[in-house]
Structure 1
Amino acid sequence: MSGCGCEVELKDAKQKHVLYWLLGINAVMFCVEITVGLYANSTALIADSMDMLADAIVYGIALYAVSRSLKHKANAALISGYFQLTLGILVIFDIVRRLGEGEPHSWFMIGFGFVALIANVICLVLIRMQSNGEVHMRASWIFSANDVIANLGVIAAGVLVMLLDSRWPDIVIGSVIATLILRGAYLIITDAKKELSNAELTSENNSCSGSKSKSCS
């Protein structure tokens, strides 16, 4: 039935379903990775756990944006981007703080890197059909895609720590993950600002078209 809004409601319901799953997966994985990362003394695992935390909060913000206006969705994505930017900076500070600490437990890095990889591949599968959708869902896609790269990095770091008997692979991969977080934040903020600008232009055009005053002519 055209014009009844049923298609929009169905789309919103699908988005919410996906986002609830993404939120749950990332929240659980944050708890797992931060615990293991602290125990294993792994910069890469801790950085990846912070990435998971950022994602979980971002998905919560995205849930708020579903069924709302384009401007609300763009603002939600913008908040997500700034939050991820903050976490990326915090991860860098943590990496610097851990430079003088001992070698991490490589097997924990490899094992839980694989667990996190599986979790994020599931997230990508869940959100795949939404990757070219609205701005808040595009932000979610960027997060999950970055996470897969980060997980592969954690696994590689674990292998290198074991082979080289050195902490530096963990430090390097942790730094790469921090860079990915910052890059993702930049992409999301840029996209959100563009959408906000478009939303404002659309609003102005609608106001002008609906007004008969000469100021809009």
Structure 2
Amino acid sequence: MGASCCSSACTSDSSNNEPRWRRALWIALAVNLAMFGVEIVAGATAGSRALMADALDFFGDAANYAISLAVAGLALGWRARAALFKGATLLVLGLWVLGSTVYASFTGAAPHAETMGIIGVLALVANVGVALLLYRFRSGDANMQSVWICSRNDAVGNLAVVAAAFGVFGTGTGWPDLIVAGVLAGLGISGGVQIIKQARAELRRTHKRSREVSST
């Protein structure tokens, strides 16, 4: 896409309220809420920090989809503010997971590898399905892009959880689980920063347009 036409500027307000977009968000919301319940229980049962981190990510994404549904069809400024809030939430969540992972490295025991593997594969299937569902909306404004980024990060993170399950099984230690939890935290932090940057850029453009209109 040319430099003169950024993804957010070329997306009309109506695209954020079209039926296909709202339907995709409702499906993504239901899937993420269900997987949050599954992973938080399985993570606590198996003693897996990576599964619990992924469960919190599912919960955060469900909240993000709910916010996106609430602001669909609103002006770009409101959608950018919603994206800014989502980006900040993702950043804080990533920092929290990173801190808890460091703490667990001194106190945690090896998790149950079989449970990690089974739930990790289930979560991967769910997230790949959601990512494919939302792929067509990846070049929208910051609000749309934040939804796509979360779904993409989740699918990548689930691959890492499955790999960690094999690592825990092979080594008999909890380090693979902790390493993957750290990777998930890094994805959350980088995704949050990316969303915040674009949302702030869109807010600046909105304020500039408002000043131009008021001065005429």
| Pair in the same fold by TM > 0.5 | yes
Of 22, 30, 43, which residue of structure 2 is paired with 1:24? Answer: 30
Work out the CA distance in 2 between the residues paired with 1:145 and 1:184: 10
Two-structure CA RMSD over aligned residues (Å): 1.6
For the structure 1 residues 10 and 104, does the alpha-carbon distance in structure 2 shift closer, same or farther, using more than 3 Å as the test?
A: closer
Report what 2:49 is aligned to: 43
Q: Is the 8 A contact 1:44 1:173 kept in 2?
A: yes
Report what 1:4 is aligned to: none
Letter in 1 for 2:99: F
Runs of 4+ in 1 over 6 A off after TM superposition: none
Verify: 1:158 aligned to 2:158, yes or no: no
Verify: 1:66 aligned to 2:91, yes or no: no
Gaps of at least 5 residues in structure 1 are 1-6, 212-217
- 1:114: Cα distance to partner? 0.6
Verify: 1:96 aligned to 2:102, yes or no: yes
Q: Is the 8 A contact 1:65 1:136 kept in 2?
A: no
Letter in 2 for 1:109: M
Report what 2:4 is aligned to: none
- 1:128: Cα distance to partner? 1.0
Of 79, 89, 92, which residue of structure 2 is paired with 1:83? Answer: 89
Q: SS of 1:104's equivalent? A: coil
- 1:12: Cα distance to partner? 2.5
- 1:8: Cα distance to partner? 3.1
Work out the CA distance in 1 between the residues paired with 2:33 and 2:143: 18
- 1:88: Cα distance to partner? 1.2
- 1:10: Cα distance to partner? 9.0
Work out the CA distance in 2 between the residues paired with 1:157 and 1:57: 27
Q: SS of 2:18's equivalent? A: helix
- 1:202: Cα distance to partner? 1.8
Q: Is the 8 A contact 2:16 2:73 kept in 1?
A: no
For the structure 1 residues 9 and 91, does the alpha-carbon distance in structure 2 shift closer, same or farther, using more than 3 Å as the test?
A: closer
Q: Is the 8 A contact 1:109 1:154 kept in 2?
A: yes
Letter in 2 for 1:172: I
Q: SS of 1:103's equivalent? A: coil
Q: How many residues align?
A: 203
Q: Is the 8 A contact 2:43 2:52 kept in 1?
A: yes
- Identical aligned pairs, as a percentage? 34
Of 123, 129, 139, which residue of structure 2 is paired with 1:132? Answer: 139
Work out the CA distance in 1 between the residues paired with 2:58 and 2:198: 21
Work out the CA distance in 2 between the residues paired with 1:60 and 1:11: 13
- 1:113: Cα distance to partner? 0.6
Work out the CA distance in 1 between the residues paired with 2:154 and 2:214: 42
Work out the CA distance in 2 between the residues paired with 1:31 and 1:95: 21
- 1:9: Cα distance to partner? 7.4
- Provide TM-score, normalisation by structure 1: 0.89
Report what 1:170 is aligned to: 177
Verify: 1:113 aligned to 2:128, yes or no: no
Deviates more, 1:78-87 or 1:93-102: 93-102
- Provide TM-score, normalisation by structure 2: 0.90
Gaps of at least 5 residues in structure 2 are 1-12
